Amino acid sequence: MNIKKGFVLREVCGEHVIVGEGLGTVNFGKLLALNETAAWLWKQAQEMGEFSVESLASRLCEEYEVSEAEAQKDVADILNEWRSVGVIE
C-alpha cells in the first residue's frame, strides 16, 4: 500500500488532519481528523513509501507499549478507514 499522491497531513487549529492538495484530489473536499497515534502512523507510512499492516504494526510496537496482535488490529482498522475514504491505495 501507499499514500495516494496529493494527500498530506496538516495541523489545523491544534488538530491533525489529512487534506487533499492539487487537482487530483479536487473531489475529496473534506478533512480527515486523526488522533496522535493515527497521525504518527501516517508519518511512518509516508516515510516508508510502500507499507503494509505488518510493517506499520511493527513500528507501532517499537514506539508504543502494545502487543503485536493489538497493533495489527489497530493498524488494519485505520488502514481500512483510510482506504474507504480514498487516501491510500
Residue 17: its H or E element: strand 15-20
Closest CA to 88 of 61, 58, 49: 49
pLDDT digits (tens, 9 = 90+) for 4-52: 988 999 998 899 999 887 655 545 556 789 999 999 999 999 999 999 9
Q: How many CB atoms lie within 10 A of CB 72?
A: 18
What is this structure's pTM? 0.88
Cell 487549529 -> residue: 13
